[in-house]
Amino acid sequence: MKDRVEDRLDHEQAEGRKDQASGALDQAAGNIKKNVGDLIGNESMEAEGRMQEAGGKLKREAGNARSEAADAAEDAID
């Protein structure tokens, strides 16, 4: 049973890292889109970039929390 729990925690850590990476990419893309929108005077693009950037930040932070929770649970088991 302990092996199954550890496998599940490893999976949660990996998923957390994926969320961190995906969120960071969304955050960077949103920042670029926001700045391009500002540069060309496209308020809609700028707003869309802000939303994407904020969503990416939230996803990255959720990934951090997911990975840290799995780490803490794994430490508690050991």
Our count of domains for the chain comes to 1
Confidence of residue 41 (pLDDT cuts 50, 70, 90): very high
Confidence of residue 26 (pLDDT cuts 50, 70, 90): very high
Domain limits at 53? 2-77
Q: Which residue has the tokens 């693009």?
A: 45
- Specify the amino acid at residue 5: V
Instruction: Please tell me the pTM assigned to this model.
Output: 0.83
- Residue 8: pLDDT over 90: no
What whole-number distance in Å separates Cα of residue 12 and Cα of residue 27? 22
Q: Which residue has the tokens 């950037």?
A: 53
